[in-house]
Amino acid sequence: MIVANWKMHGSRQAVSSWISKVSENLDFKDSKLCIFCPPSCYLEYAGKLLNEENSQIKLGSQIVNESEAKPLTGGITAAMLKDIGADYVLIGHSEQRSFIRDGDTGIAKKIKESIDDGVIPIFCVGEDLAKKNNNETESFISSQLEVLQILSESQLSSVIVAYEPIWAIGTGLNADRQYIEKIHGFIKQYLKDLCSIDIYVPVLYGGSVKLENCEEIISSDEVDGLLIGGASLDPEIFSNIFNLS
């Protein structure tokens, strides 16, 4: 599963050109998934183009709000996302946590509501540099994962987790494979312990993924996919990453 998170980039022209180039280039072997998360204002346009292309690329939103936050100027609910054909949504991204002060209670509600409305949450967790340097990564990530405790086991089986160390986002400094494996292993064990039944929650890695490091990162059995920011903007680079992963 390879996810393109465009953040606050793009235009109608860029969306259209990306969709047509990427649709042409992607090799969908082994039922690998590609998820495109453009800015919200281009979601419906992107969905229309993907339908016209009969593309296998899935649509994802970068944001969602809790419906109980109503009235909320500028808000978007999971039901609205489903209505325009988005099947996935990023929740808890560190940029949303720091910029709009997205907190654990709201994040938990958004995850639950998205699942109930048929939109799969990609729940982002990750530590900052100070926590990493203080050896607090695992305890911090545990505290972030706690929000999943409100889910039933069947709801939990609809969640995707993305591990995105904040110090690696947009810095060019990706976590090395050994570190990623350690943290992904920790996340998977935490999720296992949360459930009495055997469920598989995919764990993606994000943070300065690029053409040069994607093969090494994805080759780990602990890594189920990639969440890509900057390197997803160029359709050729993104397609090459997808095909190599």
Q: Which residues bind ligand 13P (CB under 6 A)?
A: 5, 93, 164, 169-170, 206-209, 227-231
Active-site residue, 93 included: yes
Nearer to ligand 13P, 207 or 225 (CB): 207
Nearer to ligand 13P, 67 or 180 (CB): 180
Buried b (16+ CB within 10 A) or exposed e, 106-117: bbbbbbbbbbeb
Given the residues 66, 93, 95, 184, the one annotated as active site: 93
Nearer to ligand 13P, 85 or 230 (CB): 230
Given the residues 66, 127, 164, 222, the one annotated as active site: 164
* CB 227, min distance to ligand 13P, A: 5
DSSP 8-class letter at 174: P
Distance CA 104, CA 92 (A): 8
Contact 131, 234 (CB under 8 A): no
Distances (CA, A) of 173 to 90, 180, 228: 22, 13, 13
* CB 166, min distance to ligand 13P, A: 9
Residue by residue, DSSP assigns 74-119 as T---HHHHHHTT--EEEES-HHHHHHS---HHHHHHHHHHHHHTT-
* CB 233, min distance to ligand 13P, A: 9
Nearer to ligand 13P, 209 or 218 (CB): 209
Active-site residue, 9 included: no
- C-beta nearest to ligand 13P: residue: 229
- Positions annotated as catalytic residues are 93, 164
